[in-house]
Structure 1
Amino acid sequence: MTQTLTAPPAQRPRLRLTRFRDLALVPAIVLLVLVGALIDPVFLSRANILNVLQQQTELSLLVLAEAVILIAGKFDLSLESTIGLAPALALGLVVPAASHGLGTDWPTALAIPLCLLTGALIGAFNGLLILRFKLSAFIVTLGMLIVLRGLQIGLTGGQNLFDIPQSVLYLGNAVWLGVPASIWICAALFAVGIVALGFVRHGRAVYAIGGNVDAARAAGIRTERIVWSVLIVGGVLAALAGLLMTGRLGSVAAAQGQGMIFTVFAAAVIGGVSLDGGKGTLFGALCGVIVLGLINNILTLGGVSAQWIQAIYGGIILVALILARLTSGKAQD
């Protein structure tokens, strides 16, 4: 009886520490803003801030997708290739052969639906291999990353696709109320994700599945259906990120998205999302994206070579793992 009464208080300090870890990046963001202002007065200009946020929108959508998948207890490394293949395939079907298209000349109005559908199909196929064939999510999505990258290079012939439809260019370059549309889109999707995971039954079930899939199944949660849905949504978000990047740059690069998955995991981990599943918040993941974006911008304005940025990202991940150990009492394996 005594143990039953004293157990809840013993859990409260750790809960508070975990919540603190989700919000710990807020003062870090404030500190980075102050550092950036001291390094270069241009840092605080409206144009620079909007530029930093817009450049991070594609990464933000990938982090949003990966964070939900990680909370559900799975991995998806193929998001890095989906952001490139989905727009490459969709635009290859609609742009003329003279612009390195496939020569099919489908209606340009199909570009956006085809891209999103491609992302959904990739996520669904990942779910088939992971859930029906019981294969490792890490190995499956690693293999898909390689396959999709090869398909992208094969479809594009190693060349950039240009002559992009106006609808795609609009997504990447439109300005709403003085702010790039991509920033509004990203903010809206994060808001939807935060509400869904926090207040919708199926969203809360994602945490239950990631925390203990057997207990979730015993509680009547359709675990496979929800995880499959999460993987499909992740693929769609990656495809949308590809559309935003294509519209912003005005072309689809043959290597679009290459290397992004490392930054995606860096942002998610430093934002407090556990690699073990069942823990973390989308707000924390978004803060992780902002931190990396600010660091990148500060290093650029400070004249630091781009080759050092990846090393700094790796160091940030190691520090985040140490903090996770200190605040939750458990390392993120």
Structure 2
Amino acid sequence: MGNVFDRKDRGIREHRLSYGQGPAALRNQESLDKEKNCPLHIAVTGEHGSGKSTFVNAIRGLDNTDEGAAPTGSVGTTEDVRPYPHPNHPNVTFWDLPGIGTSKYPSAEFVELVRFERFDFFIIVSADRLRENDVKLAKEIQRMGKKFYFVRSKIDNNIRDKESRQREFDAERTLMLIRENCIQGLQEQGVRSPQIFLVSSFELHLYDFPLLADTLERELPDLRRDAFLFSMPNNSLEMIDRKKTAFHSKIKYFAALSAAVAAVPLPGFSVVVDFILLAAVVSQYVSGFGLNTSSLNKIASLATLMKKEEGYRFIPVFVIPVTMGLSFLTTHRALNICLNALASDAGRVFRKALS
């Protein structure tokens, strides 16, 4: 049996090559696989009570009470390095680090003990002013040539407190002053060009979280950029549009894979592979937009499109290039329809959550 399948596989590969599709299709597939499986490791650190565990949950789209959430509160104090994979994107891991300067992780040995080299970038969380240990950590990260970002958490509490004490309260001015004070304090302690983001983990659509997500995405290497983007919660309609644009840019590669399979003269083979391909890609869309698995029912609407194409699969070999073109166009159109529908669903869910 093994020899039969080996001969069949060789025949498929040879047929692809005969129409110039094999190498290109394989390169497309390898590129997509590499991007999909590219690991991203994000370190989140800060002193006890800074809100870093709540931030780790929020950035993964989880509530503190959800299954798989990082423990919070006095009981959940981080005493060790703990990985928290994204629930829908396991190649993206957020690491909840203990605060620097504890008995188990003294300042002098912190970098070596937590193995800094494995992280792609760092987020340093503080609930009020940045501490001496936070500055030490930032300088060490800077010395290693890695990226780091300061998050001033619980900013919603700061705003409420100041609003309750001031007769003429200006929220924008208050935020500006907090940000400027943080930057000035860090620069005075020798931190070069600090990036400060004011965040509420319970209201990610407010304050600086959208700017933080945009900055992190922009400064990541290409392979890790989309992995980060698709793992982000939908905190704005702009975020949903960026995800849609990123997904759309890959449709041509999936359509090219479909066209390559269409070159194989096996009755029904291309249709089956296309259904599998479409189901897998639409599953990525559902995960990326953070939708419920019930949204996968969108794939059913594609069946009619694919059935229309099926009639072209049993034509003579000499017109296979025509079949490949039809396969490319049909798959391209089907994925566009599904992507538009799911992006629209994500927008409706976001607007409903705000209302």
Q: TM-score range by the shorter chain?
A: under 0.3
Q: Between Structure 1 and Structure 2, which shows a larger proportion of strand residues?
A: 2
Please, what TM-score do these two structures have when normalized by structure 2? 0.25
Compare CA radii of gyration and give the structure with the larger one.
2
Which structure would you say has the larger RCO, counting Cα contacts within 8 Å and 6 or more residues apart?
1
Please, what TM-score do these two structures have when normalized by structure 1? 0.26
